[in-house]
């Protein structure tokens, strides 16, 4: 990972905006991103809200594809050792422990500017989009211009015949 003149890492930061308005769509997209990173040899941390979202993410990683699953571990604390290359957590991951961090939870991880890769996934649900806007502003305050992949536009143009 390269650094800028201030010594801050120059990672890759993405926002994925999905046309669906469901949590299950977000979880499925996160599982697919995690699998892609896993196949590239990355260590992947998924940051979730405690409770239902963590449970659903855990289930999704085991069952999202009939052909595969992602071996993973739930961590009580993100600082706990994780023998698997995929870890589910509800607190702030360390940039030294994870190559790719996927954020599903409400809180942007501390040191978000230090991760090699950071992906935030938002559905079209109003509350989720508002949280994504907050995360986007927080990243800008850290000097990060995240790339936005807005699948809502593509879905809209396909539906209207454009």
Cα Rg of the chain (Å, integer): 15
Q: How confident is the model at residue 145 (pLDDT cuts 50, 70, 90)?
A: confident
Q: Which is higher by pLDDT, 41 or 160?
A: 41
Separation of alpha carbons 29 and 162, rounded Å: 25
Q: Comparing C-alpha atoms, which of 122, 115, 96 is closest to residue 19?
A: 122
Separation of alpha carbons 71 and 49, rounded Å: 20
Report the DSSP beta bridge partners of residue 45: 87, 101
Provide, rounded to the nearest whole percent, the portion of the chain with pLDDT above 70: 88
| Structure confidence by residue, pLDDT tens digits, 24-47 | 999 999 999 999 999 999 999 999
Beta carbons within 8 Å of 93's beta carbon, 6+ residues apart: 45, 47, 78, 87, 101, 109, 115
Question: Are 11 and 115 in contact, with CB atoms under 8 Å apart?
Answer: yes
Question: Are 102 and 30 in contact, with CB atoms under 8 Å apart?
Answer: yes
Separation of alpha carbons 27 and 104, rounded Å: 8
Separation of alpha carbons 132 and 124, rounded Å: 10
Question: Are 109 and 11 in contact, with CB atoms under 8 Å apart?
Answer: no
Q: Does domain 38-160 have CATH number 3.40.50.10110?
A: yes
The pTM score is 0.87
For residue 11, what pLDDT is reported? 60
| Structure confidence by residue, pLDDT tens digits, 59-103 | 999 998 888 788 999 999 888 999 999 999 999 999 999 999 999
Question: Are 19 and 124 in contact, with CB atoms under 8 Å apart?
Answer: yes
Q: What H or E segment, with its residue span, contains residue 56?
A: helix 52-63
């Amino acid at each position: 990972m390269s650094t800028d003149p201030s010594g801050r890492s120059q990672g890759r930061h993405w926002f994925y905006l999905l046309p669906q308005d469901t949590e299950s769509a977000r979880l499925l997209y996160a599982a697919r991103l995690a699998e892609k990173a896993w196949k590239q040899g990355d260590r992947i941390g998924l940051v979730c809200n405690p409770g239902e979202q963590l449970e659903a993410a855990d289930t999704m990683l085991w069952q999202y594809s009939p052909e595969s699953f992602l071996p993973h571990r739930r961590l009580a604390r993100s600082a706990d050792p994780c023998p698997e290359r995929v870890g589910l957590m509800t607190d702030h991951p360390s940039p030294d422990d994870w190559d790719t961090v996927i954020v599903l939870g409400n809180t942007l991880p501390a040191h978000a500017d230090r991760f090699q890769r950071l992906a935030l996934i938002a559905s079209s649900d109003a509350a989720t989009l508002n949280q994504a806007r907050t995360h986007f502003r927080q990243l800008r305050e850290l000097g990060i211009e995240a790339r936005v992949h807005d699948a809502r536009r593509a879905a809209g143009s396909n539906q209207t015949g454009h």
